[in-house]
Amino acid sequence: MTEKQHIIIKGVKEGLVFLLDDKCEFATLLDELQYKLEKTHQQLLTGPLVHVQVKLGARQVTDDDKDRIKTVIRAQGNLMVQSVESDSPLLDSMQGKQPNLQVLTSIIRSGQTYEHDGDLLLIGDLNPGGTLLCTGDIYVMGALRGVAHAGIGGRTDVIIATSLMRPTQLRIADVISRPPEEWMTGDATMEFAFLSEGRMQIDKLAQLFRIRHNPIMFKGV
């Protein structure tokens, strides 16, 4: 096996950082990781305990896949895995977007309406009685408890994402969400709303990469 460049191992003050390519097949990644540790980087396996941070880039993996990565690394003597992390799906989804992203650090209170042509990142809460209107995506890094309307110009490939989904109403283009009590899970997890086959759906934010990397999901909207 020839050495590839899907994995970069860097030394840092705290130990080692493994940078894993997020485009190649996962099985290929595991094979190369094992090869590098056993064949080409044996010098890492001598001496005192070394802490390892694994960076997966935009790749989103299951807990089982994370365990498989940890198992390969932990099998090599003195390496101790501290973390296996992917980039935030929220930030990943915003990369390469149009430049008119508005970042607003505020609280939108009852009776207030904020409108923007483009994507909006609200760092704060949208309170009941408050309204956000955007032609693009809406991201709320806080609690969304008011009305959020993305795609006000008619776009259907936009999303509404938030740290805490408790809206009065969500709207994407002309599609209005069902009453919250019909679909809210009650989980205090980051979620996002999107359109699929002309209907609004809610999913965990960790699944956003499936939408952004598989535009066929928007078919029929």
Is 2 within a domain?
no
What does the alpha-carbon distance between residue 13 and residue 128 come to, in Å, rounded to a whole number? 46
For the entire predicted model, the pTM comes to 0.54
Total of domains in the chain: 2
Residues paired with residue 139 on neighbouring β-strands, in sequence order: 121, 161
The answer to whether residues 189 and 123 belong to one domain is yes
Is 174 within a domain?
yes
Tens digit of pLDDT at every position of the chain (221 positions): 444 578 888 888 878 888 888 888 888 889 988 888 877 666 666 667 888 889 888 787 888 889 999 999 888 778 888 888 877 555 555 555 555 788 899 999 999 999 999 999 999 999 999 999 999 999 999 999 999 999 998 999 999 999 888 999 999 999 998 766 666 666 667 889 999 888 898 888 878 777 665 544 444 33
Last residue within a domain, chosen from 34, 54, 87: 87
Residue pair 79/44 in contact (Cβ under 8 Å)? The answer is: yes
What does the alpha-carbon distance between residue 126 and residue 143 come to, in Å, rounded to a whole number? 6
Domain that holds residue 24: 7-87
The answer to whether residues 111 and 207 belong to one domain is yes
For residue 138, give the CATH number of its domain. 2.160.20.70
Last residue within a domain, chosen from 53, 69, 87: 87
For residue 81, give the CATH number of its domain. 3.30.750
CA separation, residue 43 to residues 11, 17, 36, 89, 158 (Å): 13, 15, 11, 35, 49
What does the alpha-carbon distance between residue 157 and residue 178 come to, in Å, rounded to a whole number? 19
Residues paired with residue 140 on neighbouring β-strands, in sequence order: 122, 162
